Copies of this chain bind each other. A is one copy, B any other.
Amino acid sequence: MISVIVLGTGNVGTHLINAFLKAKNVKLLQVYSRKKTSLKFIEAKVSSTSKLEELKEADVYIVAISDDAISDFSIQLKIKNKLVVHTSGSVAMQALKTNAHKGVFYPLQTFSKKNHVDFRNVPICLETENENDLIVLEKVASAISKNVYFIDSNQRKYLHVAAVFTNNFVNHIYKIGFDICKKHDIPFETLHPLILETASKVVQNNPNNIQTGPAHRKDKKTIASHLALLSGDEKNIYNILTESIEKTYGEKL
């Protein structure tokens, strides 16, 4: 059975640990955190350590720490002939400074410690230096998720940008809707079903085919009346997105 050690007990690390504890075809051998107190939650379930020199020998070492720390941390790992992977969407595989084999094991989901995540549905994007390692890493990923993809470092850069749009930027747009409602004593709940339906539609359709609204139908009258209600950033963002939608669908007509 493939053995795995998870290094890091932040959001991603914690969710990975819980997923591997339930996995059948992979053994979670050990958990590392530099802070001893961060290991309390796991002590009864699996071997753990806060000292790098106590790391056991495993097939795969999953470094689940913050992006900026990956390079410096990986230098300290005295591992050879094994596979060391990081979990970051925005860091290149070669940022790992180690004599071990290198790879990436990037779970593409927004994690917070308190929210339950069903890892079976989390896409895991894999990359390795050589094919044999990819076979091993695919087995590890498949043990916890049914959605495994091979994404190289160049693709992953773009995937990360796309994720910023569809997660961070979408949430900021939600926030604008929330603020408008709040300011005018409208319950934000009135928009909840629309938000869920919009998200649900895009996982079944090409977003180009389901665009609607005043900008899409070039309804200048409604656009002008909306702009009259807005100011500051909200108005700027309304303008730039409206222009972009008009341009996108104008060219196609």
**Chain A residues at the B interface, C-beta cutoff of 8 Å:** 67, 90, 108-110, 112, 115, 117, 121-123, 125, 147, 149, 151, 154-155, 157-178, 180-181, 183-187, 189-203, 206-208, 210-216, 222, 225-226, 229-230, 233, 236-238, 240-241, 244-245, 247-248
Cross-chain contact A244 with B248 (CB below 8 angstroms)? no
With A157-B225, A181-B159, A186-B159 as known contacts, state yes or no: A108 contacts B168, CB within 8 Å: no
Copy count, this protein chain: 2
CA distance A147 to B178 in the complex (A): 18
Cross-chain contact B177 with A166 (CB below 8 angstroms)? yes
Residues of B within 8 A of A247 (CB): 233
Cross-chain contact B195 with A199 (CB below 8 angstroms)? yes
With A171-B207, A202-B171, A207-B174 as known contacts, state yes or no: A166 contacts B194, CB within 8 Å: yes
With A198-B167, A201-B110 as known contacts, state yes or no: A177 contacts B162, CB within 8 Å: yes
CA distance A134 to B4 in the complex (A): 63
Cross-chain contact A110 with B248 (CB below 8 angstroms)? no
Q: 6 more A-B contacts (CB under 8 A) besides A196-B199, A237-B244?
A: A123-B191, A123-B192, A170-B198, A171-B210, A171-B211, A199-B199
Residues of B within 8 A of A225 (CB): 90, 157
Q: In whole Å, how far is A181's beta carbon from the nearest beta carbon of chain B?
A: 5
